[in-house]
Amino acid sequence: MSYFDAASSAPLHPVARQALVASLDEGWADPARLYREGRRARMLLDAAREAAAEAVGCRADELVFTSSGTKAVHSGVAGVLAGRRRVGRHLIVSAVEHSSVLHAADAHEGDGGTVTRVTVDRAGAGGVRAYADALRADTALACLQSANHEVGTEQPVAEVAARCQEAGVPLLVDAAQSLGWGRAEGAWSVLTGSAHKWGGPSGVGLLVVRKGVRFAAQGPADERESGRAPGFENIPAIVAAAASLRAVQAEAAQEAVRLRELTERIRVAVPQLVPDVEVVGDPERRLPGIVTFSCLYVDGETLLHELDRAGFSVSSGSSCTSSTLTPSHVLKAMGVLSEGNVRVSLPFGTPQEDVERFLEVLPAAVAGVREKLGAPVPSTVVRENVLVVDALGKLCPLPVIELAKVIGEVPVGGTVRVLADDEAARLDIPAWCEMRGQEYVGEEPAERGTAYTVRRMT
């Protein structure tokens, strides 16, 4: 079995395993106690904090360990917003942030705060000018991920941090996806990370708050972790997390070159091997191990099952799954195709043979799913009237499949109206038009659902 979902959770690094086992016998006591066992535990915790701080590029007394990356984000956002409440209650986030950031923004908005959600380009990057324009006199905090979790696009953190610094606004960086590759750039103010993303154990996050940033921890008071992360520290897991972070960063430069070559092989080969595919994300400014593509006329959940049976574990931001009937918020914000979406994220040490075998398996898997769904066969029938396609009650990717089946039946300049009530059609029909060189005219309410109009151009 080839595990290609490191962006969700990386396999436990050997150094993490060794550190975890070694610290179980010494790190079980309360580090707040003054007796021998407590002092031993405190020494392990302090050493782990210093190692993690060196890897992040901050002072040890600026870093605390939390129970998860999500908890670090929620604590960081809430703490800064509360600490700067006198400045105002305006929060800035990008539209492609991790769900933990967006959920924190929703909670802030529900509590009476205001939120600006900065749009991104088709590659998934937020604009420096857009962030600068969003800054206001009452802005308490801005948030920007270091790299996107779904498509791997790196964000202009250093440039945005400089603009925020000029305006006197702290910038929170979610560095969970990139921290294993190195430090976050720029004059950021708050940073979060998650150990299981870089090969550490799950259940360990980190929160860094720079000196000088006004911060008020929320919730009942607790003496642990400078009052910012309540509860008894899981010292063996923390030691393993810090040790593995240093280990992967030491390997990062060499491994990045190798994984970039492998992901570039996928980026180039997939469109050649599989027709009607869109590779998404920035081709240059991206993390080394992530490549994401979407396949027309494919049910994402079924494709993932087919790849699983073939021995590959991948993930998807597709709207075509039973658990999420709306498109990924990242793909939606980018305006790219969501159906048949596959994210390949290679862990450290992935052999080239596994990538080649994936490329051998993928075309047949996609073709099989398309055949089951009745993907279109080119048609030469020409009609002069406007065609109306009734796709009501049909879920992604069926509305696009029905459109593709009939677009050849109208003359160049003729139009097709697709009636659909699946939310994914609002994203996938325009994306299909851009891929196929057709004109997306627009949408309008229909008696049932929505009517999407497409003009044939080729």
Q: What is the pLDDT of residues 235-290, one digit of tens each?
A: 999 999 999 999 999 999 999 999 999 999 999 999 999 988 999 999 999 999 99
User: Between 137 and 422, whose confidence is greater?
Assistant: 137
Q: Which of 164, 295, 320, 433 is catalytic?
A: 320
pLDDT at residue 186 is higher than 90: yes
- Long-range interactions of 379-384: CB distance < 8 A, separation 24+: 379/405, 379/406, 379/408, 379/409, 380/408, 381/408, 381/409, 382/408, 382/409, 382/410, 382/411, 383/409, 383/410, 383/411, 383/414, 384/410, 384/411, 384/414
Share of residues in the chain with pLDDT > 90 (%): 77
**375 confidence band (pLDDT: 50, 70, 90):** confident
Beta-carbon-side half-sphere exposure of residue 208 (alpha carbons within 13 Å): 29
pLDDT at residue 317 is higher than 80: no
CA separation, residue 79 to residues 82, 179, 215, 217 (Å): 5, 22, 5, 5
Q: What is the pLDDT of residues 200-241, one digit of tens each?
A: 999 999 999 999 999 998 887 777 777 788 788 999 999 999
DSSP 179: G
Helical (H) or strand (E) element with 23 = helix 14-24
Mean pLDDT across the stretch 106-117? 97
Mean pLDDT across the stretch 166-195? 97
pLDDT at residue 378 is higher than 50: no
Does the annotation count 295 as an active-site position? no
User: What are the strands of the beta sheet with 90-94, ordered from one edge?
Assistant: 63-66, 205-209, 190-194, 171-174, 139-143, 90-94, 114-118
User: For residue 362, what are its two tokens?
Assistant: 């993928």
Query: Residue 385's pLDDT is what?
Result: 54
Q: What is the pLDDT of residues 355-369, one digit of tens each?
A: 999 999 999 999 999
Mean pLDDT across the stretch 120-131? 94
Mean pLDDT across the stretch 126-146? 96
**322 confidence band (pLDDT: 50, 70, 90):** very low
Query: Residue 326's pLDDT is what?
Result: 64
